[in-house]
């Protein structure tokens, strides 16, 4: 099966012969571009090819630093925290360390069952010191780990899309854990 590819600017660059059972190559479509003459170029619009009289003028605007934008968005998601049993659990870096050490202490039998955990009561938005069992602390630790890991997983997906030239600003705001 033949696929037709375009570059970062959406301009036709060539064709590939691809196995029908294989993955769709990045920036490609099975839709054949129009016949071109002279200085004409084919431009992919996202749903069809359009004929342009010539290549568009290069943009003087610098390309976004996708890696920095993605890393910043991951960090903001990572430290945003998550809801647990009606309480907000902080996941800023210091809190991640506290969760990790408390989780280890609870798991290893060093934490006194019923010790307080500081969190936000989501019903009142007040910071409270809530007595928690060791089982609850272990659950918080596991959920915090999964939450932070999901942030890094989303960052990885976006970095792959950026490397392939298939990234948009909207994509950076989508798909983060809540």
- Shared-domain flag, residues 94 and 160: yes
In a domain, 60, yes or no: no
In a domain, 59, yes or no: no
Residue ranges making up the domain that contains 9: 2-52
pLDDT at 167: 93
In a domain, 86, yes or no: yes
**Left if phi > 0, otherwise alpha if psi is -120 to 50, otherwise beta: which for 97?**
alpha
Q: How far apart are CA 81 and CA 88, in angstroms?
A: 7
Do 27 and 6 form a contact (C-beta atoms < 8 A)? yes
- Shared-domain flag, residues 37 and 99: no
Q: Tens digit of pLDDT per residue, the chain (178 long)?
A: 899 999 888 899 999 988 877 777 888 999 999 999 999 999 998 889 999 999 888 777 788 999 999 999 999 999 999 999 999 999 999 999 999 999 999 999 999 999 999 999 999 999 999 999 999 999 999 999 999 999 999 999 999 999 888 999 999 999 999 8
pLDDT at 8: 81
- Shared-domain flag, residues 46 and 72: no
Q: How many domains does the chain have?
A: 2
Angle 5-6-8 from CA coordinates, rounded to 5°: 140
Q: How far apart are CA 170 and CA 71, in angstroms?
A: 15
In a domain, 16, yes or no: yes
pLDDT at 46: 84
- Shared-domain flag, residues 36 and 85: no
Overall pTM surpassing 0.85 (yes/no) = no
| Letter string b/e over residues 156-171, b meaning 16 or more CB atoms within 10 A of that residue's CB | eebbebbeeeebeeeb
pLDDT at 20: 79
- Shared-domain flag, residues 39 and 125: no
Query: Distance of CA 9 to CAs 37, 41, 43, 46, 77, Å?
Result: 20, 12, 8, 11, 30
- Shared-domain flag, residues 154 and 101: yes
pLDDT at 19: 84
Q: Please name the helix (run of DSSP H) or strand (run of DSSP E) that holds residue 84, with its range, or none.
A: strand 82-84
- Shared-domain flag, residues 166 and 124: yes
- Shared-domain flag, residues 108 and 131: yes
pLDDT at 18: 85
In a domain, 101, yes or no: yes
- Shared-domain flag, residues 85 and 159: yes
């Amino acid at each position: 099966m033949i696929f037709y590819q375009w570059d970062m600017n959406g301009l036709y660059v060539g064709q590939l012969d691809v196995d029908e059972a294989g993955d769709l190559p990045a920036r490609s479509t099975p839709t054949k571009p129009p016949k071109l003459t002279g200085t004409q170029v084919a431009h992919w619009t996202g749903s069809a090819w359009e004929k342009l009289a010539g290549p568009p003028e290069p943009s003087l605007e610098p390309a976004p630093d996708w890696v920095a934008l993605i890393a910043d968005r991951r960090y903001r998601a990572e430290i945003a925290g998550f809801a647990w049993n009606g309480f907000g659990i902080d996941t800023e870096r210091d809190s991640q360390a506290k969760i990790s050490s408390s989780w280890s202490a609870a798991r290893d039998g060093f934490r006194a069952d019923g010790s307080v955990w500081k969190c936000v009561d989501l019903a009142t938005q007040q910071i409270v010191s809530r007595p928690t069992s060791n089982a609850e602390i272990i659950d918080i630790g596991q959920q915090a780990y999964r939450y932070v890991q999901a942030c890094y997983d989303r960052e990885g997906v976006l970095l792959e899309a950026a490397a392939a030239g298939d990234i948009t600003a909207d994509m950076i705001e989508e798909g983060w854990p809540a």
